[in-house]
Structure 1
Amino acid sequence: MNANRISWGIVFIFAGTIFLLENYGLIDFSWAYLWKFWPALLILAGVNIIFSQSNNPAGKWAIIAVTVVILSALTVINLNHPKTTYDVAWDNDEWSNSKNERERGTNFYEENFDANYKYANLNINGGASKFTIKEGKAKLFESSTEKNHSRYYLRKTESDSTVVLNFNAKKNEKGFDFDDTDLSKVMMKIHQAPIWTINLNMGAGKADFDLSENKVKAVNIKGGAADFNVKIGDLYPDVALAAETGISKVRILIPNNSGCKIFTKTGLSAKEFSGFDKTADGSFATSNYQSASNKITITLKGGLSDFEVKRY
């Protein structure tokens, strides 16, 4: 009996069971919250290294026991952790700046729109946060952040008809300083006129991007343990969307009238592509991919993630 293989087999069975139960709505499990306990994986790996070469049956059973105890503890902690829900409200395209919001630690960032901006790049680098994007009509970029005590900064550069916005989490001497048990809220609006490229790089957290009313050329997402929801519209003819994740849930909505092709390199990840057919090259495509005037190309990479693409 190879205890090392059994141990990692238990880990994969655990992850698959959690994904299955969550997909059927039987549990509410947050991979983003679980990310703060990543040192437990180091403990598990250390125990495997110490006892994997032992011929003593007690050592092999110790590996299995530690694996079961760690996974059980993480499950109990996660399921009993109060889940944070968010209601995003935009009032008449204006930010509310009340005393109550200032007391909660709300911060505001904005850049004015210029009609010369044909292309806009938004680069987001953040810690444990809940990011929301929707369309805006007044400013090029607006953001309202809560519970992060000014830990973001906004920088703008421009060249000819292209503007680049860098919206980054500040670093202190100890690295990113976030309270992982309570995600900060980062609400953003982007102007409808430019053609956007959006890059998001985060460790743990959540992202809800409603880009259906924006002209979007590309969306690139990188995350460790996070939940991503992205809705793409049909206002740009050739969209590229890429997601590279560790242990995450990725949900993508695309228009029915757009042709779409999905390329995957997903290891043990779960995949659900409703309305897609597998092609000879191993990709997945909609029946109207060749004939559609608007096309979306999706590239998915993940170690142990849950990918879903749906049409609306």
Structure 2
Amino acid sequence: MKLDRIMWGIVLLFVGGVLLLENFNVIEFYWRNVWGFWPIFLIIAGVNILFNKNKSQLGNIISIVVLVITLSVLFYRGQQPPEHRSWFGQNLKSDIDIDFDDNDDDDSVNSQRLSFSEPFNADSSKSVALNISGGGTSFSLKGATDSLILANVDNKRGNFTLSKESTDSAQTLTFKMQNHKGKWSMNDGGNDVDFKLNLHPEWTIKMNMGAGEVNFDLSPYKIRTFRFDGGAAALDIKMGDLLPITDVIVKTGVADVKINIPTGSGCRIVTKTGLSSRDFTGFTKLSNGTYETPNYANSTKKIFINLDGGLSNFEVSRY
């Protein structure tokens, strides 16, 4: 069994075990106590690279022992009562002033329904670039619209904007959440954004977000490039085969990534995934970090997937 799968399995067993003990009131675990220790996983990745360069059994044992010791320390630390209420510490300096407060006494944040759109015109039939950014948000994309873009927002915190820039050859849409100062209660939940796009243009979609969730059905659209840069996120996308070549680029920290591709398209995956778990059903491994579908060479439609992640779960399946 591969080392990355073993280490990922140990981490999942740790998290699941802690949650189970909490549910049965065996322990009281303060997740905010261990949040600040996230850089230790970078150290574990470095140990894995140093001691497992030649895939030796001794290197595997050292990497696993370091991980188990680390999780043991976090298990002990997580049961200590927190010294402060903030998840990120009292001395955090940031442009975004967010206070995670789980008191029931605070006033609840009212949800605001917003709608953004851009009309479809003759120039819109060309290439369109869509840039999306925002944290603490659940994004979905399903269905078409007669407009160029339609975004329905269930807004609890932050200010959303949609802007457009046009050139002779393309249009660029930018949808983003502006920085917001104020309290964010743990009970408030996040923002929800439901996109609908026009079916005619050739789309390039770029997403940049911290924590959040993305569920995009891209199969009806002409997608030239989909790029995702995220931190602790859940990404679930379904690709189509309406263009000869499609690029999918995913860079994450700690994330759950699921990508569905059509069986009629040839697909190549190039990975740089550290301690991440990989499940590429129906792919053949060519070399370290490179995988292809059996029909890749002869297919007229090709999808190139580039995956780069630290401690994530990557799944690519065919439909």
Q: Is the structural similarity TM-score above 0.5?
A: yes
Alpha-carbon spacing, 1:237–1:173, altered in 2? closer, same or farther (3 Å) = same
1:155 matched to 2:149? The reply is no
Partner deviation per Cα, 1:73-127 (whole Å, 9 max, x = no partner)? 9xxxxxxxxxxxxxxxxxxxxxxxxxxxxx7411110000112221011100101
Alpha-carbon spacing, 1:45–1:263, altered in 2? closer, same or farther (3 Å) = closer
1:236 matched to 2:235? The reply is no
1:252 matched to 2:248? The reply is no
Alpha-carbon spacing, 1:148–1:173, altered in 2? closer, same or farther (3 Å) = closer
2:99 corresponds to: none
The question of whether the paired residues in 1 share the 8 Å contact of 2:158 and 2:179 is answered with no
Cα distance in 1, alignment partners of residues 139 and 292 from structure 2: 29
- Give the match's secondary structure for 1:193: coil
Alpha-carbon spacing, 1:12–1:192, altered in 2? closer, same or farther (3 Å) = closer
Partner deviation per Cα, 1:166-202 (whole Å, 9 max, x = no partner)? 101111467xx76565121110111100000001111
Task: Choose 251-260 or 112-121, whichever is displaced more.
Answer: 112-121
Alpha-carbon spacing, 1:296–1:12, altered in 2? closer, same or farther (3 Å) = closer
Q: Which amino acid aligns with 1:151?
A: N
Counterparts of 1:160-179 in structure 2, within 5 Å, are: 160-172=168-180
1:15 matched to 2:11? The reply is yes
Partner deviation per Cα, 1:110-145 (whole Å, 9 max, x = no partner)? 000112221011100101000011242311010011
Cα distance in 2, alignment partners of residues 210 and 286 from structure 1: 21
Alpha-carbon spacing, 1:142–1:301, altered in 2? closer, same or farther (3 Å) = same
The question of whether the paired residues in 2 share the 8 Å contact of 1:44 and 1:67 is answered with no
Selected match of 1:188 from 184, 187, 195: 195
Counterparts of 1:44-55 in structure 2, within 5 Å, are: none
Alpha-carbon spacing, 1:311–1:225, altered in 2? closer, same or farther (3 Å) = same
Identify unmatched segments of 5+ residues in structure 1: 1-10, 27-35, 47-61, 74-102
Q: Which amino acid aligns with 2:13?
A: T
Partner deviation per Cα, 1:247-279 (whole Å, 9 max, x = no partner)? 100000000000000000001100000100001
1:59 corresponds to: none
Selected match of 1:275 from 282, 292, 304: 282
Alpha-carbon spacing, 1:45–1:310, altered in 2? closer, same or farther (3 Å) = closer
Cα distance in 2, alignment partners of residues 216 and 45 from structure 1: 35
The question of whether the paired residues in 1 share the 8 Å contact of 2:157 and 2:180 is answered with no
The question of whether the paired residues in 1 share the 8 Å contact of 2:238 and 2:260 is answered with yes
The question of whether the paired residues in 1 share the 8 Å contact of 2:240 and 2:261 is answered with yes
- Aligned CA-pair RMSD: 3.2
Alpha-carbon spacing, 1:113–1:44, altered in 2? closer, same or farther (3 Å) = closer
State, as a whole percentage, how many aligned pairs show the same letter. Answer: 34
Q: Which amino acid aligns with 1:298?
A: I
Q: Which amino acid aligns with 1:170?
A: Q
The question of whether the paired residues in 2 share the 8 Å contact of 1:107 and 1:149 is answered with no
Alpha-carbon spacing, 1:72–1:211, altered in 2? closer, same or farther (3 Å) = farther
Alpha-carbon spacing, 1:289–1:158, altered in 2? closer, same or farther (3 Å) = same
1:95 corresponds to: none
1:213 corresponds to: 220
Cα distance in 2, alignment partners of residues 20 and 297 from structure 1: 34
1:112 corresponds to: 119
Cα distance in 1, alignment partners of residues 172 and 31 from structure 2: 35
What TM-score does the superposition give when structure 2 sets the normalisation length?
0.69
Alpha-carbon spacing, 1:168–1:258, altered in 2? closer, same or farther (3 Å) = same
What TM-score does the superposition give when structure 1 sets the normalisation length?
0.70
